[in-house]
Amino acid sequence: MKRLSKKQIGRAVCTILQQLALTTPLNVVYGWGVTNKVATQIEITVDGMERTVAALMMDVNGFNYQGRQALCNQ
């Protein structure tokens, strides 16, 4: 797995948070019951190839979904 620098991960997670704030009403985000936000890197498979991407991991406790959610901007 290719390692991303802390700066790359931080920049990507900042972009994810900005996109989330601009595209989703705050009352919807509050309704998810978000806790434990963590900036990290994950491996995803795209067209059969493994890619390492920065992600925002968070625990959600909403009406339709409860569990760990990963948001990435790829």
Q: How far is CA 29 from each of CA 8, 10, 23, 46, 64, rounded to the nearest angstrom? A: 25, 21, 10, 28, 13
Instruction: Tally the C-alpha atoms within 13 A of residue 60's C-alpha that lie toward its C-beta.
Output: 17
Instruction: Give yes or no for residue 2 having a pLDDT over 90.
Output: no
State mean pLDDT over 6-28.
92
Could you tell me the pTM of the whole model?
0.79
Domain residue extents for the chain: 6-71
22-51: per-residue pLDDT in tens?
999 988 888 899 999 999 999 999 899 999
% of residues, the chain, pLDDT over 90: 69
